[in-house]
Amino acid sequence: MEYWLACNEERAAQARFGAVMCCCGPCAMYCRSALTLLLDQYEAQFFRGKPSDFGEDRHLTILMLKAGFRTEYVSDAIAATVVPDRLG
């Protein structure tokens, strides 16, 4: 229930201000032009002086906001992907 509230209610409220604080990795979409501008900073994530890839979705979201981009929540978004139907 807590996860559902965070993903739906909290992000919907944050989106009213154009600042969703964490765009979840597998569910997020970004403009290529925005990513290109921030790629060097995104790849250089450190925690306590050591390279880190934990929390990369929040890291990228914060970089987007700091650069002046809006982050939105779209409750009725539909996504699809192509994956193999079996391994091997």
For residues 45-54, give the mean pLDDT. 85
β-bridge partners, 50: 47
Residue 15: pLDDT band (50, 70, 90) is confident
Angle between helices 32-43 and 56-66 (to 10 degrees): 120
Q: Which domain holds residue 26?
A: 2-66
Phi and psi at residue 11, to the nearest 5°: -65, -35
What was the pLDDT predicted at 78?
A: 85
Note whether residue 24 is domain-resident: yes
Give me the number of domains the chain comprises: 1
Q: Does any domain span residue 79? A: no
Residue 71 lies in a domain: no
pLDDT digits (tens, 9 = 90+) for 50-76: 888 788 889 999 999 999 999 998 888
Residue 86 resides in a domain: no
Residue 77 lies in a domain: no
| φ/ψ bin of 67: left (φ > 0), alpha (ψ from -120 to 50), beta (otherwise) | alpha
Q: Using CA atoms, how far apart are residues 35 and 37, in angstroms rounded to an integer? A: 5
Question: Does 28 fall in a domain?
Answer: yes
Structural domain includes residue 17: yes
